[in-house]
Amino acid sequence: MTSRTVLSLAAAGLLALPAASSSATLHTCPLTIKEQQGFGVTYVTSLKVRGVTCATGKRVVRGFQACRKAHGGLKGRCPRSTSILGFHCTEDRGTGPAQFSSKVTCVKATRRVVFTYTQNT
């Protein structure tokens, strides 16, 4: 292989990277102040989706929050075995004396809904 061929192949590979990674990126869904406060928690601070619409992402957030509250109230946790519109969610929760913040990742095959929220307790 000549150096020109190698450079051409490298350039073609670099040009293909953005297309491949863009399919794996999360799309940020805009949230109004009313929506941030209307999902059943104190605040939903961010919502990102991949492979689903923002409307579906918002339905998953509402379902997760209803599940969480049904399993312990404000400090409750939604069991991993629970399916919310076919999504299974995991939660990474920080703690504090009067509130906590969480990052929730919900997965259904290659589809994802990722959101963060703050709950005053």
pLDDT tens string 41-51: 889 999 999 99
- Does the pLDDT value for residue 57 go beyond 80? yes
Q: What is the pLDDT of residues 58-117, one digit of tens each?
A: 999 999 999 999 999 989 999 989 999 999 999 999 988 889 999 999 999 999 999 999
As given in the structure block, the two tokens for residue 25 are: 């990126």
Say what the pLDDT of residue 69 is. 93
Say what the pLDDT of residue 95 is. 83
d(CA 25, CA 10): 23
Q: What is the pLDDT of residues 20-38, one digit of tens each?
A: 444 579 999 999 999 999 8
Say what the pLDDT of residue 23 is. 56
> CB neighbours of 118 closer than 8 A, spacing ≥ 6?
41, 42, 43, 45, 99, 100, 101, 102
Residue indicated by tokens 């990052």: 103
d(CA 6, CA 80): 48
d(CA 27, CA 94): 24
7 falls in which pLDDT band (50, 70, 90)?
very low
Instruction: Please state the pTM of the whole predicted model.
Output: 0.79
